[in-house]
A and B are shown apart, each in its own frame.
Chain A
Amino acid sequence: MFDLSGKAALVTGASGGIGGDIARTLHRAGAKVGLSGTRRDPLNALAEELGDGAYPLPCDLSDDDAIKQLPKDAADAMGSMDILVNNAGITRDGLMMRMSDEDWDAVLDVNLTAVMKLTRASLRGMMKARWGRIVNISSIVGATGNPGQVNYAAAKAGMVGMSKSLAQEVATRGITVNCVAPGFIETAMTEKLTDQQREAMLEQIPAGRMGAPDEIAAAVLYLASPEAGYVTGATLHVNGGMAML
């Protein structure tokens, strides 16, 4: 089950906590993995850790030309690109009253527009191969909203609508498009919380704990697998019961 031998996956944001575990999990399942991110050192370290079949592919997703080039580089390095995991994301939190255009634009550009552009540039090979898996990492806040995150929530909700539309466009080609929506996961992004914030948050999670990055990776593995071929346009919520959608 969930064997990815012979498949090649590109994971964006692979230098982060969740992205790194997604790459590890897909690699363990037999896939070659292209590790994309802006910071070279963690990508190289992860590639070294994984060994054969892992390729660092640094890319700045705010650079249009770099986005166009990335799927080509991935296919050159791995021989093909069958699985795309759009995991890279940024936050620029702030209440809307005080949100600058720059903070709105930056989050929408990286978390939504770049996902569209990278996915568009990746579709060609999947269409030709008549097989493909696109897994977009959304967020619980795309469904529930979150004060201070109008930009992030808008981008993550937009990602779900985009995924459902694309899923309908390419379903006949053996390509599935799905989202995984993490709740609160232990990463650098959530380490910034104060103890008080953390406690208040845990009270809202029936499971009584934060999630682990590898619990997100497991959901991605399923959606990337041949076994999930009949699942498309779906959002898999992994949030300890925090929102039951």
Chain B
Amino acid sequence: MSEGDIKERVRKIVVEHLGVDEEKVVDNASFIDDLGADSLDTVELVMAFEEEFGIEIPDDAAETIQTFGDAVNFIKGAV
């Protein structure tokens, strides 16, 4: 899976879940500070990533996923 593929699929989940414009979902966009997520949203996003990519994201790793770029990087290393 290329980084581009991963980005596209992660972006789609974020856009759908948070109802934000696609252009706002950039590498350094923070889910909470820039994209309006609350703590429950971040849990839901992590679970959606797990489902989409068939991976497991442990809680301590999930805590480090603050931005769109963090998510893509983690998933890149996990798939």
Contact = CB atoms under 8 A, between A and B. Distances in A.
Contacts of B47: 124
Most chain A beta-carbon neighbours within 10 Å: one of B38, B40, B47: B40
Interface of A: 124, 127, 169-170, 172-173
Contacts of B44: 127
A225 B35 CA distance: 33
Interface of B: 38, 40, 44, 47
Given A127-B44, A169-B40, A172-B38, 4 more contacts: A124-B47, A170-B40, A172-B40, A173-B40
Contacts of B40: 127, 169-170, 172-173
Determine chain A's interface SS by DSSP, over half rule: helix
A121 to B, nearest CB: 12
Contacts of B38: 172
8 contacts: A124-B47, A127-B40, A127-B44, A169-B40, A170-B40, A172-B38, A172-B40, A173-B40
A170 to B, nearest CB: 7
A173 B39 CA distance: 12
A170 B38 CA distance: 11
B12 to A, nearest CB: 15
A170 B40 CA distance: 8
A119 to B, nearest CB: 15
Enumerate the 8 nearest inter-chain pairs by beta-carbon distance, A residue then B residue, closest first.
A127-B44, A169-B40, A173-B40, A172-B40, A172-B38, A170-B40, A124-B47, A127-B40
B50 to A, nearest CB: 11
Contacts of A124: 47
A172 B39 CA distance: 11
A167 to B, nearest CB: 13
